[in-house]
Amino acid sequence: MTRSFDVVVVGGGASGLSAAIEAAAAGATTVVLEKNAQPGGSSRLSVGSINAAGSSLQKRAGIVDTPDAHFEDMDYYVGAFASRDNLAFRRLLVDHAAETLDWLMSLGLSFYGPTADPPNRQPRMHNVVPNSRAYPYYLGREARRRGVELRLGAQVTGLLRGDDGGVRGVMAMLDGKSVEIEARRGVVLAAGDYSNSAELKRRFRPELEGIPAVNPTATGDGHRMAEAFGARLVNGEVIYGPGLRFVDPVRPGLASRLPPSWWLGKLMQLALNHLPIALFRPFVMAFMTASLGPEASMLRAGAVLVNAKGERFADELQQPGLAIAQQPGGQAWLVFDSRVARMFSEPPHYISTAPGVAFAYLPDYRRHRKDLYHCAETVGALASSLGMSAPALKASLTAAGKAPFHALGPLESRIVITDGGLAVNGSHQVIAEAGGVIARLYAAGAVGQGGALLAGNGHHICWAVTSGRRAGRFAAQRLPSQDR
Ligand SMILES: Cc1cc2nc3c(=O)[nH]c(=O)nc-3n(C[C@H](O)[C@H](O)[C@H](O)COP(=O)(O)OP(=O)(O)OC[C@H]3O[C@@H](n4cnc5c(N)ncnc54)[C@H](O)[C@@H]3O)c2cc1C
């Protein structure tokens, strides 16, 4: 069975849906093939922040900011990989960020901010409200309005080669059958990152192979399919994590259950901008304590990590994420005494944060994550509340400190994001290992990162939407250079 479209988009996250909207707007018949039962990928699991300079929200708040300043501030985050950055794409990102944000708002998304995000010199972080499910919700709605066919549960398994050596379509599993889908003008790979691909992690960062990702279906399918077709991959070593994350609540928090409707977004935007945070703190905390991990400052202050048996297993100040993954069940607990508990009960010492929105302290965890929080007058009683061996826990807390004793957990270590992507040119056409572009093959979002380093808050989703829109437009136009 063969079906045929002008543009075939692989992946229905922020980049793929943006690509499809623009391709359809340019008159191309377009299909999005999404392997999961729902669209959104990592985009719908994210915090949802976008950093943008010169945005309409900044202007409304009287903040004077420029893409040049944003470009410079990104230097703070690139660290050891600085020399590998694709500065042309950093330029593209900062120059388009405000426009990208305006476009998203024109589709119905609401943002709170801009908020400060030091060391950025100006408040330029914009946080989506009510939650990041707004991305697939509004982008998917616009794609359908434009006539895009959005196929869920449609896993793309490979790229099809045309007579000229370029791409002529994809192989996909539709309704349990392997189907050829032709792309007359182009295929846009928008399949996300490889944070949960053991194979790619083993190749680039073997020490991270066994550490799972926040998004279990981020398996680098686009990277692998394109490489098998002759594409070049760059910056594969740039992987964020392992980070520590508390296990998800059995029942999802209120914020993650709310529909991302326009009125709710606007209501939250207004409330966050104009009302004292104390008024709706319980609501914000339900989100804050549901999906985030503890700050390393707790470990520096003296909290220790123990495993399910109550044994201390690592130097907490040396990348404990790697050691946590090797513990029974891959889990650990933070244990601390009353001094650390008091310290992390009020500003400035927070346990977790959604940057720019709010900070969560120990009383927030006590109230909103009863499943994670344990407290007892003796180390033995704490061990029994946690189901751990009392002698082991006592041995772990050699400098036990003062009662009562507290524990937070279980927590696990997770890879959050990977920055390695296919090499692409300024039109988001995929570049072959042998040089030159692969005809009719485009990449956007995480898989089309082209060597750009997007560390720091709010750059990945902005890149996904910006590059997705561009790739969709270029694919629909079918550039003459593709056929050479
Ligand atoms: C916990 C967390 C918090 C984050 N917070 C932020 C933040 O606040 N700000 C920010 O800028 N970035 C953030 N990020 C990063 C950001 O979410 C991602 O980099 C971005 O959303 C990637 O978008 P994408 O479209 O490239 O990929 P995705 O959104 O992952 O979409 C890719 C889609 O492709 C589909 N797919 C994959 N393979 C196939 C296949 N073979 N066939 C068909 N479909 C396929 C996937 O199922 C998925 O739906 C966060 C990430 C995480 C995990």
Q: For 244-303, what is each residue's pLDDT tens digit?
A: 999 988 777 666 677 788 787 888 777 777 777 666 666 666 665 656 788 889 999 999
By alpha-carbon position, which residue is closest to atom 12 of ligand 1? 460
Mean pLDDT of 214-239: 97
By alpha-carbon position, which residue is closest to atom 13 of ligand 1? 46
What pTM value is reported for the model? 0.93
276 against 441, higher pLDDT: 441
Mean residue pLDDT of the chain comes to: 91
Does pLDDT of 484 surpass 50? no
Which of 46, 245, 419 should be mutated for ligand 1, with most atoms under 8 A from CB? 46
Mean pLDDT of 454-463: 95
Using CA atoms, how far apart are residues 220 and 233, in angstroms rounded to an integer? 11
- Ordered by where they begin, the domains of the chain are 2-238+418-483 (3.50.50.60), 243-250+277-414 (3.90.700.10)
What is the pLDDT, as a whole number, of residue 417?
95
pLDDT confidence tier of residue 169, bands split at 50, 70 and 90: very high
Q: For 335-385, what is each residue's pLDDT tens digit?
A: 999 999 999 999 889 888 766 666 788 998 898 888 999 999 999 999 999
* CA 33 to chain CA mean position, Å: 20
Under a CB-based contact definition with an 8 Å cutoff, are residues 222 and 444 in contact?
A: no
195 CB less than 6 Å from ligand 1? no
Q: For 387-438, what is each residue's pLDDT tens digit?
A: 999 999 999 987 768 899 999 999 999 999 999 999 999 999 999 999 999 9
186 CB less than 6 Å from ligand 1? no
Is the omega angle on the peptide bond into residue 410 within 30 degrees of 0, that is, cis?
A: yes
Q: For 145-167, what is each residue's pLDDT tens digit?
A: 999 999 999 999 999 999 999 99
417 CB less than 6 Å from ligand 1? yes
Does pLDDT of 305 surpass 90? yes
By alpha-carbon position, which residue is closest to atom 45 of ligand 1? 11
Helix 14-25 × helix 134-145 angle, to 10°:
20
Does pLDDT of 478 surpass 80? no
A 10 A CB-CB count for 63 gives 15
Q: Which of 194, 93, 192, 95 is nearest to 454 (CA)?
A: 93
Q: For 101-153, what is each residue's pLDDT tens digit?
A: 999 999 999 998 898 888 999 999 998 888 889 999 999 999 999 999 999 99
- Give the N- to C-terminal CA distance of the chain in Å, as an integer: 29
For residue 289, the CA-to-ligand 1 centroid distance in Å is 22
What is the pLDDT, as a whole number, of residue 241?
83
What is the pLDDT, as a whole number, of residue 483?
47
293 against 175, higher pLDDT: 175
What is the pLDDT, as a whole number, of residue 248?
83
8 CB less than 6 Å from ligand 1? no
What is the pLDDT, as a whole number, of residue 193?
98
What ligand 1 atom has the least distance to the C-alpha of 448?
Answer: 26
* Residue 441 main-chain phi, psi, to 5 deg: -115, 125
